């Protein structure tokens, strides 16, 4: 993609590449700038080049090519051809979703029928062979003619694997074969926002307000983490189910990229009706997502886009002109505050346009915000979090593995509790927010701090949604034989059977939270033969989880001789 404003840099040993203000690729070797491509050889990016605010920064530009792709050699002609794992986080539980030692067809039945299309690939329906659980599968071709297209594929996956929010369709697993990168996603049965609008022609103001608030929650989360979607439209929002009250979720990160505050982005991306006028100029900020959201809100309240024309050229001209009108009988029943809200999102001056956080706090959405903030978190749910923090590290690790890789349909009490606890509504519960929620149950700040540290196994800056669901898992579900077998299968797939220390290291990295993975493995390996069997995992779980023990006793087919493994981690 052309980028007239980006100054992001990727290191290639002693050679770096960047784009100047004219969009040319500039090579810097030993501190000397050179416009010649002869000074650079391609290699996989160093990991230190792709970390940014806790997320791995994908490489957004071809590392040794001109802006034109016409003269690029096919990617397969280059040595050190990168794989998706070069673009994902270092080894931890999040990276475990990138499956390297198994094939998609060995675990899933893939339908030949397309259920949708996204940037770069089709979307199909798949079923897990053992559980028959449905997923959506997006396949992105990696056998492409240029590095630019290949890195675009990997950028999408690299960004998507980091996202963890209830209003973003969850990525469960990623497979890569010789021709494609396959993204296994949460299957949302409720169809696109486009379809729902097409069926109803336009939404009531109350329903539009609810949908808008949920969309802005996801956008606020993205922008808080320095990610810009760049292609928000009706088709890129889907409903979790066909229920009229179903929550909405963001999809398709084919044009997404990381941004730095104050550093403009370039390149024209998106869909014509939703394009920010500054995108047309080729130099813009993350507020292009806010403009697109304003277009969507206008459309769901009126049934038509704010800027129309007989051709793309005319539409773009009208967008640039920016003559926003609320005319016709369809707008007569819409409140003034709703129109003012839309106008504040569609302000042609991006510096005066609302941020996602400001939009969430706009008076039009006051009722939605109040409903989230006034929700009373059940005492039993908070007690479940406390109990989770006292469990053995292996039990917590297994629970997290189950939550990451299975259905995301936690009950509304869990969702509402998370949103109520997250006062800032940026998708990450801070310690101060957590302390405020727990203060009615626990008065000791140091104890609350210890619980917070244990729950935040991904990073210590805050509690993400998956961490919250893991901590509240026993509030709505049971750790049983079937769930344990699923987690054990995931451990087997990681490095191939049998399960050894490297299997756990590939899933959890060097530690899970503050507990070393080697310590967890040692506790599992009761006979100290260097291999963990499913029976050993069951023994360990029975000894360290009373609820699981009751579950096993209720299953008459299991009669286990229990060794003494009561050592705590």
Structure tokens at 208: 């539009």
Known binding-site residues equal: 138
Sheet strands side by side (includes 171-176): 98-99, 171-176, 180-186, 134-141, 121-128, 108-118
Q: Are 302 and 333 in contact (CB under 8 A)?
A: no
Task: Mark whether 231 is an active-site residue.
Answer: yes
Structure tokens at 12: 């290639």
Q: What is the largest CA-CA distance in the chain?
A: 77
- Contacts of residue 333, Cβ cutoff 8 Å, sequence gap at least 6: 205
Catalytic residue among 231, 252, 289, 525: 231
**Beta bridge partners of residue 52, listed in sequence order:** 55
Q: What is the DSSP string of 177-227?
A: -SSEEEEEEEPPTT-BHHHHHHHHSS--HHHHHHHHHHHHHHHHHHHHTTE
Structure tokens at 351: 């510096």
Structure tokens at 86: 């070069």
Instruction: Give the per-residue SS3 of 262-321.
Output: CCCEECCCCCHHHCCHHHHHCEECCCHHHHHHHHHHHHHHHCCCCCCCCCHHHHHHHHHH
Phi, psi of 185 (to 5 degrees): -120, 165
- Distance in angstroms (rounded) separating the CA atoms of residues 284 and 286: 7
Known binding-site residues for ATP equal: 138
Catalytic residues, by residue number, are: 231
């Amino acid at each position: 993609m052309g980028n007239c404003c980006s100054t992001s840099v990727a290191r290639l040993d002693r050679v770096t590449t960047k784009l100047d203000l004219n969009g040319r690729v500039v090579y810097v070797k030993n501190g000397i700038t050179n416009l010649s491509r002869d000074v650079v050889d391609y290699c996989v990016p160093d990991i230190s080049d792709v970390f940014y605010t806790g997320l791995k920064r994908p490489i957004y530009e071809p590392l040794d090519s001109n802006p034109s792709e016409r003269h690029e050699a096919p990617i397969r002609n280059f040595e050190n051809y990168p794989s998706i794992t070069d673009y994902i986080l270092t080894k931890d539980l999040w990276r475990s979703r990138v499956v390297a030692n198994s094939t998609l067809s060995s675990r899933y039945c893939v339908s030949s029928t397309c259920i949708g299309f996204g940037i770069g690939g089709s979307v199909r329906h798949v079923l897990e062979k053992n559980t028959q659980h449905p997923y959506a599968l997006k396949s992105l071709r990696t056998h492409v003619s240029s590095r630019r297209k290949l890195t675009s594929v990997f950028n999408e996956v690299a960004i998507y694997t980091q996202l963890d929010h209830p209003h973003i369709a969850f990525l469960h697993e990623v497979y890569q074969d010789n021709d494609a990168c396959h993204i296994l996603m949460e299957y949302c049965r409720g169809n696109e926002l486009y379809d729902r609008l097409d069926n109803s022609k336009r939404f009531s103001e109350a329903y539009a307000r609810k949908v808008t608030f949920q969309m802005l929650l996801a956008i606020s989360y993205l922008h808080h983490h320095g990610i810009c979607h760049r292609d928000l439209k009706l088709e890129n929002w889907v409903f979790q189910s066909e229920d009229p009250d179903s929550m909405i979720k963001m999809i398709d990160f084919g044009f997404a990229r990381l941004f730095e505050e104050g550093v403009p982005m370039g390149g024209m991306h998106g869909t014509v009706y939703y394009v920010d006028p500054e995108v047309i100029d080729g130099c813009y900020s993350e507020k292009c997502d806010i403009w697109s959201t304003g277009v969507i809100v206008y459309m769901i309240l009126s049934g038509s886009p704010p800027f129309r024309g007989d051709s793309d050229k005319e539409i773009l001209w009208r967008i640039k002109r920016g003559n926003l009108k609320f005319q016709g009988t369809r707008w007569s029943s819409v409140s003034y505050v709703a129109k003012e809200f839309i106008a504040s999102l569609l302000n042609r001056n991006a510096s005066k346009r609302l941020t996602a956080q400001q939009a969430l706090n706009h008076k039009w959405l006051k009722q939605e915000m109040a409903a989230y903030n006034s929700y009373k978190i059940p005492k039993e749910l908070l007690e479940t979090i406390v109990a989770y923090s006292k469990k053995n590290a292996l039990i917590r690790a297994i629970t997290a593995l189950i939550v990451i890789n299975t259905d995301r349909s936690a009950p509304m009490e869990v969702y509402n509790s998370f949103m109520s606890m997250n006062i800032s509504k940026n998708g990450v519960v801070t310690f101060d927010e957590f302390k405020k929620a727990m203060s009615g149950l626990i008065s000791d700040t140091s104890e609350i701090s210890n619980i917070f540290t244990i729950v935040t196994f991904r990073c210590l800056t805050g509690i993400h949604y998956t961490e919250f669901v893991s901590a509240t898992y026993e509030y709505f579900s049971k750790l049983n034989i079937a769930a344990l077998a699923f987690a054990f299968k995931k451990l087997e797939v990681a490095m191939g059977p049998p399960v050894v220390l490297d299997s756990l290291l590939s899933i959890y990295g060097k530690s899970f939270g503050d507990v070393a993975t080697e310590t967890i493995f040692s506790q599992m390996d009761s006979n100290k033969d260097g291999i963990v069997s499913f029976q050993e995992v069951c023994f360990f779980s029975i000894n360290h989880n009373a609820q699981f023990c009751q579950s096993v006793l209720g299953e008459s087919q299991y009669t286990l001789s229990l060794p003494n493994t009561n050592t705590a981690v």
